[in-house]
Amino acid sequence: MRTRFLCLLLAGCLSFLTSQAQVHPDSLMPVRGFCIGSPKPDRIDEFVRFVETELAPRKVNTLIVRIDFNYQYKSHPELRDSVALSKRDLKKLVRACRKNGIRLIPQINLLGHQSWASKTTNLLRVYPQFDETPHVKMPEKYVWPNEDGLYCKSYCPLHPEVHKVVFELVDEICEVCETDAFHAGMDEVFYLGDDKCPRCSGRDKAELFAGEVRTIRDHLARDGRKLWIWGDRLIDGKETGIGMWEASMNNTHRAVDLIPKDVMICDWHYERPDQTPVHFAMKGLKVMTCPWRKPKNAVAQAQDMVRFRNTATKVMKDRFHGMIQTVWSDAGTFLDEFYGRKPAPADGNSPTACFKALYDEIGRLSGQPGAPAGQSGH
Ligand SMILES: [Zn+2]
């Protein structure tokens, strides 16, 4: 009798422990994201399959796709890439995401990232009058660092005609993606409030940055959409020692107190798992941590996110909003590595390895380890 009682007690304890260990992924962290450059048209089907067979089983619920000019815009055909996704292509992705409960968020880089290396990208190539620094000529061979401090060009946020053009792109891509959120990039904006800009010179850079965030946010809000941005311009790079890439050395960081509280912050840290989510949460902003290619950091960042949620005040808990794996190539390049057609780096640091490690860890933390095992196509 006594043995039977003990057995029952033990069984009861075990089932209690097991049920305690299982956490619903949404309460573990509301956003489990993946961010990547959009595929070229000839890779869209393969990418849709990847969404269905790799993202969905890992319970990814947010997919940020950097589209920029890789879409056949009807509002501005002059801004399309020469080879660009059609409406039919994008709708395949929209359907796959909807079927799998994934929120699709398109990205077009606004403000910064209007050039890359020695190439001006479509907006400033077609509308050079929007350039914040027209006096900075694009080099034939790009090197960093350089005398002009040229990383990427920016558009002038105070140019009276720039928003009409970019918002027509934003509205069109949001409509085709059937989405309630838009990612405007806004990372690494080094050219802002330039001394030679007739509109911006002498102005407070934090106010210029915050003003542009608010303009975009207010435009989206009219259609019930939310703005997502990268977080680096809102961190003081000097005071924190985080520096000029993952934080701001051009005095934009005070914008953290000036932007609307419903702007979603994607806080990327690729070199060290810096605990900046606390900074954003304490400012009243929802924040998601973004790793890239170091699996060890991604695992630490996922654990930090869960710890922040478990130890925060009730008011702040939900601001610790999740994790987003970021991939800085287009989808095709990533898929080649993911499916073993291109060798992964020997040191084990790569977006594919980081993605797997992050989602293994999220699975482990929610008490459902190994869910997608055997489905990775290896
Ligand atoms: Zn300007």
Give 129: exposed, middle or buried? Use CB within 10 Å, 0-12, 13-18, 19+: exposed
Q: Using an 8 Å Cβ cutoff, are 208 and 200 in contact?
A: yes
Please give the structure tokens belonging to residue 141.
């061979």
- Pick from 86, 287, 104, 265: which is nearest to 180 by CA? 104
From ligand 1's centre to the CA of 197, what distance in Å? Answer: 5
From ligand 1's centre to the CA of 299, what distance in Å? Answer: 41
Regions of the chain where pLDDT drops below 70: 1-21, 370-378
Query: What's the confidence (pLDDT) of residue 375?
Result: 45
From ligand 1's centre to the CA of 75, what distance in Å? Answer: 25
Query: What pTM does this model have?
Result: 0.93
Query: What's the confidence (pLDDT) of residue 376?
Result: 44
Query: What's the confidence (pLDDT) of residue 12?
Result: 54
Domains along the sequence of the chain with CATH: 28-109+162-193+223-365 (3.20.20.80)
Query: What's the confidence (pLDDT) of residue 199?
Result: 98
Give tens-digit pLDDT for 141-199. 999 999 999 999 999 999 999 999 999 999 999 999 999 999 999 999 999 999 999 99
From ligand 1's centre to the CA of 293, what distance in Å? Answer: 35
From ligand 1's centre to the CA of 127, what distance in Å? Answer: 14
From ligand 1's centre to the CA of 175, what distance in Å? Answer: 29
From ligand 1's centre to the CA of 194, what distance in Å? Answer: 7
From ligand 1's centre to the CA of 162, what distance in Å? Answer: 11
Cα-only R_g, the chain = 22
From ligand 1's centre to the CA of 209, what distance in Å? Answer: 11
Give tens-digit pLDDT for 208-251. 999 999 999 999 999 999 999 999 999 999 999 999 999 999 99
From ligand 1's centre to the CA of 180, what distance in Å? Answer: 30
